[in-house]
Copies of this chain bind each other. A is one copy, B any other.
Amino acid sequence: MEINKELKVSLVLNNDKLHFNGVSRENEQISIDYTPPLGDNLGYTSLELFLLSISSCIVSTVLIFLRKKNIVISGVNINANGIRKEEHPTGLKNVDINIEIDSENLTNQEMDSVIKKSKEEYCPVISMLNKDVQVAVNYEIIRERKHVK
């Protein structure tokens, strides 16, 4: 597979605090801001964007490998949370990525194996982190999604 080797984004400051509009290519702009008093809560914080980045990265990598094994996936929901360090620099010390995956033919063994390979060898975002950031990927396989009227 050919990968896009160079990526570009741009941002513009919108006010006299910390509100930015950010964008890549022809995507819709993302509103980025910080919490009060420095910002006005008008958008995503940088660390929330990071959490979306790492979560989508690891789950995409996992799905690619599962599909290569002919696993049928009928739905995926992810809840991720991050805990910041209390002293500067206040990066995340823990990232927990919790995946609910709907599949009739996925086993725990396959999921464990694919998560391990993705974390250790393939997920680009995780590969850029240092060892102080603990990333846990948890999952639950849903055999039959209950549909509530």
Which residue numbers of A lie inside 8 Å of B, CB to CB? 1, 3-13, 16, 18, 20, 22, 24-25, 27-28, 30-32, 34-35, 37-39, 43-57, 59-60, 63-64, 73, 75-86, 88-92, 121-133
A142 to B57, CA, bound (A): 37
A76 and B44 contact, Cβ closer than 8 Å, known pairs A5-B83, A22-B52, A34-B60: no
In the complex, the chain B residue whose C-beta lies closest to that of A101 is B13
Cβ contact within 8 Å between B77 and A12:
yes
| Neighbour of A53 across the interface among B13, B47, B123, B124, CB < 8 A | B47
Identical copies of this chain, number: 2
A84 CB, min distance to chain B CBs, angstroms: 5
Known: A4-B45, A8-B79. 17 other contacts (CB 8 A): A4-B84, A5-B83, A6-B83, A8-B80, A8-B81, A9-B55, A9-B81, A11-B56, A12-B78, A18-B64, A24-B44, A28-B31, A47-B57, A50-B54, A84-B124, A89-B126, A91-B124
